[in-house]
């Protein structure tokens, strides 16, 4: 399995099975996460930011950074003209790092994949980078994101190819057929961390809620 080539926290993150294990791992990793991901050449946040900016007007609000981690994307959203962003993450430790950046209007320590305590149509845009991957969240996390995103809003996410081929791609096609979302953009596959041994690609998606 390609994931076994990973070192340290990243290997453990992919191998994690239970939400509480994922949370504990990211709590421990939170202090060095930004430096570690920078060294790995982490591409997901940049690609998600580009997709969101292409399909959602500057100043659109409110946004949800779903799987915010240490707040990499929130900081860039603030710089590029999206000033009202809330953060959601499973890890208190990661959210503590995100809070220090001072760019989020609210912090929610929650797991994706189950029911979320937000109203229907609560957000104009949702961005979820590096969440739909091995050991984290599968296609079961999509329905709630669609529910809480208002009609005409944009959901931007990245999906690991292993997950895509294991039913995620088929689920997106079903949601399109049901008229719930429109796939407005899908990137070509790319390696999310060129500095790591794992070469399994991911793709970026922009979905418009209908």
pLDDT number for residue 194:
73
Q: How far apart are CA 77 and CA 81, in angstroms?
A: 6
- Computed over every residue of the chain, the mean pLDDT equals 86
Q: How far apart are CA 152 and CA 161, in angstroms?
A: 27
Task: Tell me the pTM.
Answer: 0.83
β-partners of residue 66 are: 88
200 backbone dihedrals φ, ψ, rounded to 5°: -65, 120
Rounded to whole angstroms, what are the CA distances from 75 to 13, 38, 44, 146, 209?
Answer: 23, 15, 14, 24, 25
Q: What domain range includes position 164?
A: 2-209
Tally the domains of the chain: 1
pLDDT number for residue 15:
57
Report the CATH number that the domain containing residue 118 is assigned in CATH: 3.40.50.150
For the stretch 175-205, pLDDT in tens is: 999 999 999 999 999 988 776 666 789 999 9
* Residue owning tokens 């509480």: 20
Q: DSSP string of 180-195?
A: SEEEEEEPPPB-S-TT
Q: What percent of the chain has pLDDT over 70?
A: 80
User: Between β-strands 63-66 and 106-109, what pairing exists: parallel, antiparallel or unpaired?
Assistant: unpaired
pLDDT number for residue 108:
98
DSSP SS3 for 175: helix
Q: Which residue has the higher pLDDT, 27 or 187?
A: 187
Average pLDDT over residues 24-32: 65
Q: Are 73 and 66 in contact (CB under 8 A)?
A: no
Sheet containing 123-132, strands listed edge to edge, beginning at the edge strand earlier in sequence: 106-109, 85-89, 63-66, 123-132, 149-160, 202-209, 181-186
Please name the residue ranges forming H helices in the chain: 8-15, 19-29, 33-39, 44-55, 72-79, 92-100, 142-148, 161-163, 169-177
Q: What percent of the chain has pLDDT over 90?
A: 64
For the stretch 149-172, pLDDT in tens is: 999 999 999 999 999 999 999 999
Out of 40-44, 69-73, 99-103, 205-209, least confident range: 40-44
């Amino acid at each position: 399995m390609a994931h076994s080539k990973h070192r340290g926290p990243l290997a453990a993150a992919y191998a994690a099975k239970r939400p509480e294990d994922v949370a504990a791992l990211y709590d421990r990793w939170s202090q060095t996460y930004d430096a570690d991901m920078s060294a790995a050449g982490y591409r997901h946040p940049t690609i998600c930011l580009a997709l969101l900016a292409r399909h959602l007007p500057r100043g659109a609000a409110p946004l949800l950074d779903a799987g915010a981690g240490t707040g990499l994307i929130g900081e860039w959203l603030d710089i590029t003209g999206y000033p009202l962003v809330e953060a959601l993450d499973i890890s208190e430790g990661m959210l503590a790092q995100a809070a220090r950046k001072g760019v989020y209007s609210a912090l929610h320590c929650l797991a994706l994949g189950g029911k979320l305590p937000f109203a229907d149509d609560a957000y104009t845009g949702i961005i979820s980078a590096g969440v739909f991957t091995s050991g984290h969240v599968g296609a079961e996390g999509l329905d709630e994101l669609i529910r809480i995103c208002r009609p005409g809003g944009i959901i931007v996410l990245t999906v690991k190819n292993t997950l895509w081929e294991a039913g995620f791609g088929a689920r997106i096609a079903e949601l399109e057929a049901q008229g719930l979302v429109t796939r407005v953009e899908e990137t070509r596959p790319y390696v999310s961390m060129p500095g790591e041994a794992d070469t399994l690609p991911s793709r970026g998606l922009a979905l418009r809620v209908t």
